[in-house]
Structure 1
């Protein structure tokens, strides 16, 4: 069953909507380039995470303010945003130390955490196909992090990077189970605002030199990660995903992972071996197997959660 409700159904046909989802996924997949380059300029991982969410929070703050009467779901969104923002620090830290392809595969384990949290917190028992897909994803992650693919000094950072898919898994569940009464832009806004609030204490405790870029090119990278890999892709997903439904959105959205691989290959001269490409294929297959649980981005889940609620 495909999603039939959309805020702007006249803007996209199925073909253009598919292209929009792929373009958004490329934007998400470019995060490693922006993050690692900014780290090389001396920015702290949490400062990068802060700026990534801050622009969306500022742009959408008026929408959240106008909906303040619905404070209970907004509070849930803020909590989800805090978890997602803090969890993203581990992902950025791992990108600093480990190959982009390996970190990318671990990042795409979010459906496993989504299923576990849905089951434990919301009583949403996973279906057999979802369990099979989760098993495939775990196998892909194990393949990509095999002893011949990583070094012992990278293990702590890779373990810490799992905080990102854990945070996203929690955020997806909150979006599906708690935020359906909010307008889509309000949902994105309150989650982004929560991420900013969660990162503020770390920002306050960080030396000023590590909070901002030291060059003009660094500020362009900040703008790129805020708009090109966050706000704009999320809005594209919000509009386009309902047009093509969850299945095609899931498959088109999985283009994020090979984009990460190509970023590591071309931007940082990291070889991508057979194990990583096999892991990529396994994850894309798992995503296609369970389209209802497969959308990674906040905006994509916002766009398709109506179908998820119908299935429940």
Structure 2
């Protein structure tokens, strides 16, 4: 399936488009900073996830209404959004108590979940390179969560954090197999709206003190996670990725992982050992090895790097 330049005119050169994807990926990689800082403000993990998706849902909801005639696809997008929004709670919780580098590498296991879901649900049998790339990512995750990297009491949070790549993997499959009839912004909008709807019951059941920041700096953090790590990078990714194709998008998108490492290092003074850097290199190599299938544009409402590809 050819996917490049089908949703947007040829107004971006490859160099500028590549920079756009890198900038978007850096924005996505800043999520741990905002998530951990908001948790320190006393905000519940599900409220942080809600704020991340809410602004995009509010701004882009008119596009859902305009696409209402394609309601089956919109319903799939809403379901995918619910899964990703609820799953992202585990990632926020993990970032709160484990090193950012470790949580980031576990998050990057989403291609493995994508591959399995594609095979089991949609009959999309993986190729040899996809299997090899998946094994590399599993090896990186095992290296990052070795006994020397995490403690026993951190393991429950790490296991729970796998809900995020699981939800993301499901979301990618929905985007690839069910949402191609929607334009790119409608895809972002319905998935974001689904995430908000999935998190809304938890928001209603939570005391107000754990939902909203009590300081001005806290509200700046909310604005940062909503715009700087979600809406703006999502739109950048959506516009830029079709201009350069899946292979370069995947490689440029891998900048998210080293960004997470640097956030942990500079913002939280977390030491990054040789094992973490080796795991980072393995993940990026796996991404470069298998550029994979994609829809016409990036599913940028999904919180992460190579949003529109699926290992094949």
Unaligned runs of 5+ in 2: none
Residue 208 of structure 1, CA deviation: 0.4
Unaligned runs of 5+ in 1: none
- Give the 3 Å change call, closer, same or farther, for CA 195–247 of structure 1 in structure 2: same
Q: Deviations over 1:119-140 (max 9, x none)?
A: 0000000011000000000000
Whether 1:239 aligns to 2:239 is yes
Q: Secondary structure at the match of 2:43?
A: coil
Whether 1:256 aligns to 2:256 is yes
The 1-side partners of 2:43 and 2:293 are apart by: 34
- The answer on whether the counterparts of 1:42 and 1:213 sit within 8 Å (CA) in structure 2 is yes
Q: Deviations over 1:18-60 (max 9, x none)?
A: 1110000000000000000000000000000000000000011
The answer for the alignment partner of 1:117 in structure 2 is 117
The 2-side partners of 1:266 and 1:47 are apart by: 25
Q: Secondary structure at the match of 2:69?
A: coil
Q: How does 1:111-260 map to 2 (within 5 A)?
A: 111-260=111-260
The answer for the alignment partner of 1:299 in structure 2 is 300
- The answer on whether the counterparts of 1:33 and 1:267 sit within 8 Å (CA) in structure 2 is yes
The 2-side partners of 1:224 and 1:257 are apart by: 19
Bigger CA drift: 5-14 or 123-132? 5-14
TM-score normalised per structure 1? 0.94
The answer for the alignment partner of 1:37 in structure 2 is 37
The alignment's C-alpha RMSD in Å is 2.0
Determine which structure has the larger helix proportion and give its number: 1
The 2-side partners of 1:271 and 1:104 are apart by: 14
The 1-side partners of 2:170 and 2:206 are apart by: 27
The answer for the alignment partner of 1:12 in structure 2 is 12
The 1-side partners of 2:234 and 2:160 are apart by: 25
- Give the 3 Å change call, closer, same or farther, for CA 294–45 of structure 1 in structure 2: farther
The answer for the alignment partner of 2:106 in structure 1 is 106
- Give the 3 Å change call, closer, same or farther, for CA 152–293 of structure 1 in structure 2: farther
Aligned residues: 307
The 1-side partners of 2:260 and 2:272 are apart by: 10
Q: Secondary structure at the match of 1:298?
A: coil
Residue 8 of structure 1, CA deviation: 2.9
- Give the 3 Å change call, closer, same or farther, for CA 229–251 of structure 1 in structure 2: same
The 1-side partners of 2:51 and 2:88 are apart by: 12
Whether 1:67 aligns to 2:67 is yes
Q: Deviations over 1:55-109 (max 9, x none)?
A: 0000110010111111111000000000000000000000111000000000000
- Give the 3 Å change call, closer, same or farther, for CA 245–2 of structure 1 in structure 2: farther
Q: Secondary structure at the match of 2:300?
A: helix
